Homo-oligomer: A and B are copies of this chain.
Amino acid sequence: MASPRPVDLIRAKRDGHSVSADDLTALINAYTADDVPDYQMSAFLMAAFLKGLDADETAALTRAMLHSGTVLDLSHTPGTKVDKHSTGGVGDKVSLILAPIVAACGVPVPMISGRGLGHTGGTLDKLESIPDFRTDLSIAAYKQQLADLGLVLIGQTAEIAPADRKLYALRDVTGTVECIPLIAASIMSKKLAEGIDGLVLDVKCGRGAFMSSEADARRLAETLVSIGHEFGKATVARMTRMDAPLGRAVGNWPEMQESIQCLQGDVEGLDDLMTVTLALAGEMLWLGGEAASPEAGVAQAQEAIDSGAAFDTFARVVDAQGGDVTVVHDPAARAGMAPAGTVAAPATGYVQAIDAFAVGMTAVRMGAGRRVKEDPVDPTAGLVLHKKVGEAVAKGDPLATLYTARTEDIPAFSSAIGEAYTLADTAPPAPDMLLGRYTMEGWTD
């Protein structure tokens, strides 16, 4: 039988019917080959957005996107290769700390990262804030470095999941981004193409996350883990809180600096960041077969920091990828950083909340992110929060230090950050950072 025409698949999805794996695959392949026009794919995506895709459809979509490009083979490196992906948050520098920890503990981490999106930062932009650091290694160099150092940190290449790149660009301009099956297929097609054996997902939930409701975050976690399982990869999702920025630094180099500090064991006042980082590292060590349980993995991760092994691994990777290692050893030496303004507390009290979305959007306006895809980012722009949720402040205390080259707008940035803070008379309870853990066995705390 001839394949159904694209319009028939659009109509089927529009009417709430399932589309078979073969038909979805044919559609994606034809779209990637430019045989199906954007206007048909965007109608299909909107129908999928509003009518949903079931588990089989989501898996088929992922498979078609995965096989639209190269699927890397990392079998030359022994061991269980494990990566981590975050759905994106503000101040989310977890990958920068966790990847060297996990590699130092003996689990190879082949990490392909993305750029900042909307109000959230991207690991790739953060890595590139290290002067001369190269993220555009060839596939051969990527494989070689993984074998040599157990860790390699690059950006998505043209060979990997080209269908995802094309579909993402279309979704961005057709109002079809915020759709759980489409998000999940996009994430998993890229991650599965890396050649990994296991994957840990950090599904952010809260006002600074793309999923602000817990129900949506849960559904996304379940979808991601199901896809991983479908493809025979050990997959764990942790749902973590993203109401306030993670840690104190927001912006590319500010976050890199804070990450280096954490790798050096200087984690005072960064409980939220380290709780998430160690939990995810523990999962990766467990999946990688280096820890007997996720909890044991947390302890091993802590040891890798305490021993300096994690920091050493990071420094070796920076060196191998051409980065300026002097700034890794002495972050304050990096040129171009100058405090540009301080935000003062408007009253005395306790920090009740810090609106991560508002902070993230302000950081973008300060130069740390892109409003349109073509914008350059300023690697040093951003801010450091001096007061975190639960901390006491006196009127006039510095809440945050701002770094930006857009000095004419400092009053506006300052007031936006001030407004992102909610002060109250009493201290709130410390927020739970870890909101749930999902595997194919189900949810646990």
Residues of B within 8 A of A174 (CB): 7, 10, 39-40, 43
Instruction: Count chain A residues whose beta carbon lies closer than 8 angstroms to a beta carbon of B.
Output: 24
Mask of A162-177 contacts with B, CB within 8 angstroms, 1/0 = 0000000010111110
Are B173 and A46 touching (Cβ within 8 A)?
A: no
Nearest residue in B to A15 (C-beta to C-beta)? Answer: B175
Contact of A14 among B7, B10, B40, B46 (CB under 8 A): B46
Residues of B within 8 A of A173 (CB): 6-7, 39-40
Residues of B within 8 A of A47 (CB): 46, 50, 175
Residues of B within 8 A of A6 (CB): 173
**Nearest CB in chain B: distance from A138 CB, A:** 33
Mask of A2-22 contacts with B, CB within 8 angstroms, 1/0 = 000011001100100000000
Q: So how many copies of this chain end up in the complex?
A: 2
Residues of B within 8 A of A37 (CB): 38-39
Which of A41, A46, A51, A173: most chain B CB closer than 10 A?
A46
Residues of B within 8 A of A176 (CB): 14, 43
Are B175 and A11 touching (Cβ within 8 A)?
A: yes
Residue A77 CB within 8 A of the other chain: no
Mask of A42-61 contacts with B, CB within 8 angstroms, 1/0 = 11011101110000000000
Chain A interface SS verdict (over half): helix
**Nearest CB in chain B: distance from A161 CB, A:** 20
**Nearest CB in chain B: distance from A71 CB, A:** 28
Q: A7-B175, A175-B14 are in contact. Are A170 and B39 (CB under 8 A)?
A: yes
Are B51 and A175 touching (Cβ within 8 A)?
A: no
Are A14 and B49 touching (Cβ within 8 A)?
A: yes
Task: For the complex, give the distance between the alpha carbons of A320 and B45 in Å.
Answer: 51
Nearest residue in B to A10 (C-beta to C-beta)? Answer: B175
Are B40 and A43 touching (Cβ within 8 A)?
A: no
Task: For the complex, give the distance between the alpha carbons of A196 and B6 in Å.
Answer: 39
Nearest residue in B to A39 (C-beta to C-beta)? Answer: B38
Task: For the complex, give the distance between the alpha carbons of A37 and B40 in Å.
Answer: 12
**Nearest CB in chain B: distance from A19 CB, A:** 12
Listed in ascending order, the chain A residues whose CB lies under 8 Å from chain B are 6-7, 10-11, 14, 37-43, 45-47, 49-51, 170, 172-176
7 shortest A-B CB distances, which residue pairs?
A10-B175, A38-B39, A43-B174, A46-B46, A11-B175, A39-B42, A42-B43
Q: Can you report 28 A-B residue pairs in the complex whose CB atoms are below 8 A from each other?
A: A7-B173, A7-B174, A7-B175, A10-B46, A10-B174, A14-B46, A14-B49, A14-B50, A14-B176, A37-B38, A37-B39, A39-B41, A39-B174, A40-B173, A40-B174, A42-B42, A42-B43, A42-B46, A43-B45, A43-B46, A43-B174, A43-B175, A43-B176, A46-B47, A47-B50, A47-B175, A50-B50, A50-B51
